[in-house]
Structure formats: structure tokens, C-alpha cells
Amino acid sequence: MTSAQFHLLEIKKHFGNKLHESSIYGTNRIKVHVSPHDLLEIVQYIRDKLVFPSCEAISGLDWETHFEVIYFFDRWDGDSTLIQVHVKLEDRDNPSIPSIINLYTSADWHEREIYDLFGIKIENHPNLKRLLLPEEWDEMDHKHISELYPMRRAYKLPDKPYSYNSTKK
């Protein structure tokens, strides 16, 4: 059994019904999908029980229908396993997710960047303010929310789902 298989088995044993999806890809990458309200419990388990001391990065994605926040956890002991925790945020108008800063202080600037560029509110973050954009950015004249938060896309969803045949002339 590989290290990644062992860690995924432990996560599944402890959180089976809280995992929306889980898999191993490559030789040592674990991917789990969880709800925002289960995030802190799962992240604490990864840190304390599986002993992943490092939150390497946090990324945001803007899909047409939802946002997604992805956390990357790593070890420094020669175990090359990387755990990705994916969290889907359904509310595009008021997206929010709990802060993990009390578990990983390295999450501080990553969470501020997610807020700054996507407009995802990070609940209980001690210093949630703009990181990359100027402080007066909120007061500037913005025509669309995608200009207020530069990584948001200004989707114009079609009236009907996309169909290859409907684009032929």
C-alpha cells in the first residue's frame, strides 16, 4: 500500500459520509471534495492525525455556476503525498468559507488573496482586507462585480444549454 493510499483510507474511515468525492491521481496526489461546513474538521484531522504540517497553497476557481476553493497540504518528512481539499461554494452572490488560519497561519495571505480577487468572504479571518489591490479599490467606479473582484468572470449564460448543433449554420 502506498502512502497516498494509506492516507486516503484513513480519511475515508474517519469522514466517509462527509466526503462528496475522493480519489488518488498520479502516484501520490489525494483529492477530496467536502462541504464548507465540514472544512475545519477535515483540515484539523489532516494536520493533527495525518501530520501534514504545511498548507502550501489555497486557490480559487470561478466556474459558471459556482466557486471552488482548493487547499493543498504537504509533508516535509520525505513522504511525497499531497492532499487537495476541494470545497464547492454554491452561492455566487455571497460566497463564503471558514478561515483555516487558526490551524495553519500560512493560510493568512492565501485567504486574503481569495477575498481580494474573487470576493469570497473568509469567515473569522482576523485581518480580511485587500492584499493585492489598492485599499481604495472598493470606492472606485466599477461597472460589474467582475471588475470589483478581478478573478470573477462576467459570465453571460445562454438561455439554453450549449449544444454543438445549435452553433452550426
Where exactly are the structural domains of the chain?
3-167
Contacts of 44 (CB under 8 A, 6+ apart): 103
User: CATH assignment of 3-167, given 2.40.110.10, 3.30.460.80, 3.40.50.10800, 3.60.10.10?
Assistant: 3.30.460.80
Q: Is 145 helix (H, G, I), strand (E, B) or coil?
A: helix
Element (H, E) at 126: none
Is pLDDT of 143 > 90?
Answer: no
Cα R_g (the chain), whole angstroms: 18
Gap between the Cα atoms of 92 and 84, Å rounded: 22
Cell of 71: 487547499
Mean pLDDT within 122-140? 86
Cell readout for 121 is: 468572504
> What is the model's pLDDT at position 168?
44
Q: Assess whether pLDDT exceeds 70 at residue 133.
A: yes
Q: Is the pLDDT of residue 123 over 50?
A: yes
Amino acid 158: pLDDT: 57
127-to-72, 104, 123, 141 alpha-carbon distances in Å: 22, 15, 11, 24
Q: pTM score, two decimals?
A: 0.86
Distance CA 31, CA 55 (A): 15
Question: How far is it, in rounded angstroms, from Cα 123 to Cα 73?
Answer: 20
- Give the percent of the chain with pLDDT over 70: 89
Q: How far apart are the first and last CA of the chain?
A: 54
Say yes or no to pLDDT of 166 above 50. no
pLDDT (0 to 100) of residue 47 = 97
Report in angstroms the alpha-carbon separations of 106 from 17, 79, 111.
29, 20, 9
